[in-house]
Structure 1
Amino acid sequence: MQTPYILVAPTGARRTKQDHPNLPIQMDEIIQSAAACFAAGAHGLHLHVRDDAGQHTLDPGIYRETLAELETHLPDMGVQITTEAAGVFDVATQLACLDGVKPRWASISVREIARDPALADRVYGTCVDNGTKVQHILYDVADVALLADWHSRGIVRADQTSVIFVLGRYTTGQVSHPSDLTPFLETFENRGPWMVCAFGQNEHACLHAAAQHGGDLRVGFENNLLDGHGAQFTDNAASVNALADTLKAAP
C-alpha cells in the first residue's frame, strides 16, 4: 500500500475545551499540537482559528498571524486553511477571507458556495489569481454532482480537482463506516487527488479503508476524539500516531 498523505485537523469550528481539555484553540496551543502531530507522522495541518472569545472565525488577520508562526516553527509542514461557514458566515465573508489571506492551500465546500451562485466564479477565480490550491469539501453524492457541473461550466477551474469526502456529520453519537466511502468512489469521475475524513470512533477504520483504495487521509479532533474502543485519545498526536502505526502494519 502506498503511503498516504496525512492531514491533521486538530481543532475544527465547533468543539471546545469541554469536549476535550487538549483541544488546541489558542495560537500557541495550535503550534504545539501541530508540532507534535508532525513528529507523529502528519504531513500537513488543516487549520481553524478562533477569535478572542474562542469562536470560529475567518478573520484574515488572525489567519495571517497564525500562518506566519507556523511558517517560523514548522516550515516543512503543509498548512491548509478552512473557509468553513459553520452556519455563521456568508459566501462574501468566505471570499473576503480567501482574498485577504491569500493562502497556499484552502478547503472550500461547494455546497456552501452554492448558497450564493453569483459569487462562485469569483471564489474559484480568486484562488487562481492568488495561487491558492483548492480542496473541495464533498458531503454526499449530490455535492459530487454539483462539483462536476461547475467543472463542466468552467466555474471551478480545470485544474481544481482535489477533493475530500466527508463520512458522517456533526451529530451526537455519529459513527461512520468504511462502506460510506463506496458511493463517493462510484460517482467521482474526475479522479483528481482525493482524501477522506470520518466522524465517530470508526474514524481510523474508515481511513484505513480509504488508504487501501489509494486515498489520502484527514485525522484529528475536528472529526473524532475516540479510539476504536471508545476511549478518548490523550491528544491529536496520539491519534495521528495510532493511525500511522495502523498504516505501517497494513500489508
Structure 2
Amino acid sequence: MRALPRLMVAPNGARRGKADHPALPITLPETTATARACFDAGADGLHLHLRDDEGRHLLDTGRYAEALAELARTVPGMAVQITTETAGRYAPPHQRRVALDSGADMVSVSIREITEGQDRATTAAFFEDCAAAGIAVQHILYDRGDIALLCDMLPEALLRAPNLQVIHVLGRHANRQESDPADLDPFLTEMARRGLAPDWAACAFGRAETACLVSAHERGGKCRVGFENSLWHADGSLARDNADRVTALRRALAALPA
C-alpha cells in the first residue's frame, strides 16, 4: 500500500473557479499541465478533483479512470490520490463505488461524509474492501469529533495498522478563512491520547497556509499545499499558480534548521 507523499498539491478542490484565480485548473488538460509543473517544482503527490463540463465538482468512475491513465502517462513519478468529497452532490453509496471502482490506489475520504446515514457494518466493510484491494485511504478529519468517529467506525485492525493515513484540516472552506498553526494542537493531542500514530498530513486555509504546513513538518507530519486551500503566499501576495505555492513551501521547509 502506497505511503502518503511528503508534499502533495491540491490544485483546485470542489469549490473555486477561474473567477477566484485564472490559473486554477478546471479541465483535464489544465490539471495534467498543473500536475507536471508542480512535480517539477517538487511535489511528489497530487490530490485529484475533477469537474464536469459545466465546471461543477464531479465524482465519476469513468472520468477518474481516464484522468488517472493520462496522469500516469504524463507524470509517471507522481502519486495520485482521488477525492470522494461530496460537496453536497453525492451520497455514501456513490462515494464507495467511486473509491473502489476508479482504479485509484490512493483515495481521500471524509469520515463524517462516508458515514452519514450509514450503519457501522456497511462502513467497516467498505474500509476492509479498500484495504483488501490495496487502496490507501486517507481519512479527512476536521476536528476531534471526527477522530472519535473514526475510532468508532474503523475496524480495530485498520485503526491500529501502521499504514493508517489521515489529514488534519486546519480551518474550513469559508470566506476569509485564516488558519493558524495552533489549530493543529487539538488534533495531535487527541491522537496521542487515543494511542494512534498514523501517517499524517495537514492542510490549511488562507495566508497562514505556509506557516501551518511548516509547523506540521516540524511536528512530524506531511504537507498538502495548493489552490484548494489557499491562493496566497506567507507575505499575503497572490501566488502565480500552484507550482508557485509548491516552490514557496519547499523554500520555507529548506530554510528550517537541520
Give the structure-1-normalised TM-score: 0.94
Equivalent residues in 2 for 1:160-171 (5 A)? 161-171=164-174
**2:252 equivalent in structure 1:** 246
Q: 1:152 to 1:105 in 2, by over 3 A?
A: closer
Q: CA RMSD in A?
A: 1.6
Question: Deviation of residue 115 (structure 1)?
Answer: 0.2
User: Counterpart of 2:240 in 1: which secondary structure?
Assistant: coil
User: Counterpart of 1:225 in 2: which secondary structure?
Assistant: coil
Query: Is the aligned partner of 1:184 residue 2:190?
Result: no
CA distance in 1, matches of 2:77, 2:230: 26
1:41/1:241 contact within 8 Å kept: yes
**2:144 equivalent in structure 1:** 141
* Aligned match for 1:129, one of 108, 114, 132: 132
Structure 1 residue runs without a partner (length 5+): none
Q: 1:56 to 1:9 in 2, by over 3 A?
A: same
**2:62 equivalent in structure 1:** 61
Question: Deviation of residue 209 (structure 1)?
Answer: 0.4
1:137/1:166 contact within 8 Å kept: yes
**1:73 equivalent in structure 2:** 74
Q: 1:152 to 1:74 in 2, by over 3 A?
A: closer
Question: Deviation of residue 22 (structure 1)?
Answer: 0.3
Amino acid at match of 2:139: H
Question: Deviation of residue 153 (structure 1)?
Answer: 5.2
**1:6 equivalent in structure 2:** 7
CA distance in 2, matches of 1:126, 1:69: 26
User: Counterpart of 1:214 in 2: which secondary structure?
Assistant: coil
Question: Deviation of residue 100 (structure 1)?
Answer: 1.9
Amino acid at match of 1:169: R
Query: Is the aligned partner of 1:218 residue 2:224?
Result: yes
1:124/1:157 contact within 8 Å kept: no
User: Counterpart of 1:202 in 2: which secondary structure?
Assistant: helix
**1:34 equivalent in structure 2:** 35
CA distance in 2, matches of 1:146, 1:220: 27
Equivalent residues in 2 for 1:45-60 (5 A)? 45-60=46-61
Query: Is the aligned partner of 1:227 residue 2:228?
Result: no
Q: 1:96 to 1:66 in 2, by over 3 A?
A: same
Equivalent residues in 2 for 1:186-205 (5 A)? 186-188=189-191, 189-205=195-211
1:201/1:224 contact within 8 Å kept: yes
User: Counterpart of 1:64 in 2: which secondary structure?
Assistant: helix
Moved over 2 A (4+): 116-119, 149-160
The count of residues paired between Structure 1 and Structure 2 equals 248
**1:150 equivalent in structure 2:** 153
Question: Deviation of residue 151 (structure 1)?
Answer: 3.6
Structure 2 residue runs without a partner (length 5+): none
Question: Deviation of residue 172 (structure 1)?
Answer: 0.7
CA distance in 1, matches of 2:35, 2:248: 16
CA distance in 1, matches of 2:61, 2:155: 31
CA deviations 1:62-121 (Å, max 9, x no partner) are 100000000001111000000001111100110111122131100111111120323312
